[in-house]
Amino acid sequence: MRLAILRTGQTNAAIRASFPDYPDLYENLLNNGASRIKGSFSFRYFAVFNGEMPADPDEFDGYIITGSAAGVYEDHDWLKPLFAFIKKCDALQKPLCGICFGHQAIAKAIGGEVVKWADGWGVGVQDMQITAHADWMPKTDKMSLIYFHQDQVIQLPEGAKKLATSEFCAIGAFAKGRHIFCLQGHPEFPADYSAALLEAIREKVGDSRTEAALTSLSEHTDAQEVAQWIADFFLQAHLASTDKTPIKTA
């Protein structure tokens, strides 16, 4: 499958020399993390934050919208074209996966609501309780991932279904039909990258939450399992669009 990575951000400047940028993180997530179907995807990257966008939703088989330091409610020239593209993909039922900011951008573009959370940052390894299962998800009751966010989706778009929740973040994942899958967490962030990023944004997050988050990074996450969910989401959507029998999740 040909996937386009819509880059709405990049690795923090303070750690960029020591760690991969977003393209490598996402390619590693799907072609190495999703081991059962390793090598199933090819990628092209668009620096949306620099005004790059695909010409048409049908140019690729699916799209991933990345995290970003920006907020969906801010005034950036690239946000309106991104929201318009998301709406087109939704109308065409073109597969879209949103991670963190991408989760928020997709929700807002198709009718949801996103706010800066009054209780501050959610960072480090956190557990989400699974509230519903999409076709590409196994029957599990929780999801543990690394989180970096201050903004939250507080209202789902019409027709969307909440998939995961926690005390801190009520809407931690959602789906719409078989063509949209969004996650607030970061399955693509490894622990060492996350530790360096926490130190880089310590002043914003606060010392207490930063220290707790750093300690949490030694805990297990379901990043590899979630990588498989994302891969299966794209493959099922692609097979469904060509009238083939969908694959079954593990």
CA–CA dist 183, 186 (Å, integer):
8
Contact 222, 33 (CB under 8 A): no
CA–CA dist 33, 225 (Å, integer):
8
Could you tell me what percentage of the chain is helix, strand and coil, using 3-state DSSP and rounding each to the nearest 5?
35, 25, 40
| 63: DSSP letter | E
pTM: 0.93
Domain 2-241, classified CATH 3.60.15.10, yes or no = no
203 classed as catalytic: no
- Residue 1, pLDDT score: 87
CA–CA dist 224, 145 (Å, integer):
10
89, 188, 225, 238: which one is catalytic?
Answer: 188
97 classed as catalytic: no
- Residue 31, pLDDT score: 80
- Residue 36, pLDDT score: 60
182, 186, 225, 238: which one is catalytic?
Answer: 186
Residue 68 identity = S
- Residue 153, pLDDT score: 97
SS3 at position 155: strand
CB neighbours of residue 127 within 10 Å: 15
CA–CA dist 156, 171 (Å, integer):
8
188 classed as catalytic: yes
100, 149, 225, 238: which one is catalytic?
Answer: 100
CA–CA dist 154, 170 (Å, integer):
7
Residue 219 identity = E
Residues in the chain, pLDDT under 50: 244-250
